[in-house]
Amino acid sequence: MKLTLLALVVPFAVVAPPAVAQDMACPYNAQMALATRRSPLDSVTFAVAGHAAKICYGRPSARGRTMLGGSAVPFGQVWRTGANETTKLMTSGPVSVGGIEVPAGTYALYTVPGEREWQIIVNRSYEQWGRENTYTDEVKAQEVGRAKAAVERVAEPIETFTIRTEPQADGSVHLILEWERTRVRVPVTARHM
């Protein structure tokens, strides 16, 4: 009887459980109190052809300053794409971000703003503080890839940096980065690995 019972239990024990979804909690620096941050934290959750994805970022405001192309976010230099920590991209499945093939996981999303075009950078190194001077050669070596996205002009100025999404009919998403009078669209599509 023990052998029979054991024989019945073993087949169920070797069957692998379904894959657990990636933890989608924003990995913020717990040492910096949320109340002391000048730029509020935000996130946007979306799906790309059935894959869960999330962007976690800080939302700086212009407060009367010229930000994009000014001293805070100069054109042609790496930017953390927000404030505070690096902007995080988390995905439960493989996706393409502006043509960059990104496996499931957590990444930093950097950009290099320009007047007419932005570079989009996906980087495996996401735990460092987001200051641009921490984008060392060691961090750069962990880039998954770079893509380009055209700049669109916005009629009404946007005071606070915003990341949002626009779902597309084919199951893809446009990741929209907006601030001041600038809008950048980055297509995010599913990949099959």
pLDDT value at residue 131? 76
pLDDT value at residue 128? 78
pLDDT digits 0-9 by tens, 15-24: 333 333 456 8
**Closest C-alpha among 57, 74, 56 to residue 65:** 74
Residue 61: CB atoms within 10 A of its CB come to 16
pLDDT value at residue 191? 80
**Closest C-alpha among 130, 56, 120 to residue 86:** 130
pLDDT digits 0-9 by tens, 69-90: 999 999 999 999 999 889 999 9
Domain chopping of the chain, boundaries: 22-190
Q: What are phi and psi of 105, to 5 degrees?
A: 150, -165
List the chain residues with pLDDT less than 50: 1-21
Mean pLDDT of the chain: 85
Rounded alpha-carbon distances, angstroms, from residue 21 to 25, 52, 119, 166: 12, 9, 30, 23
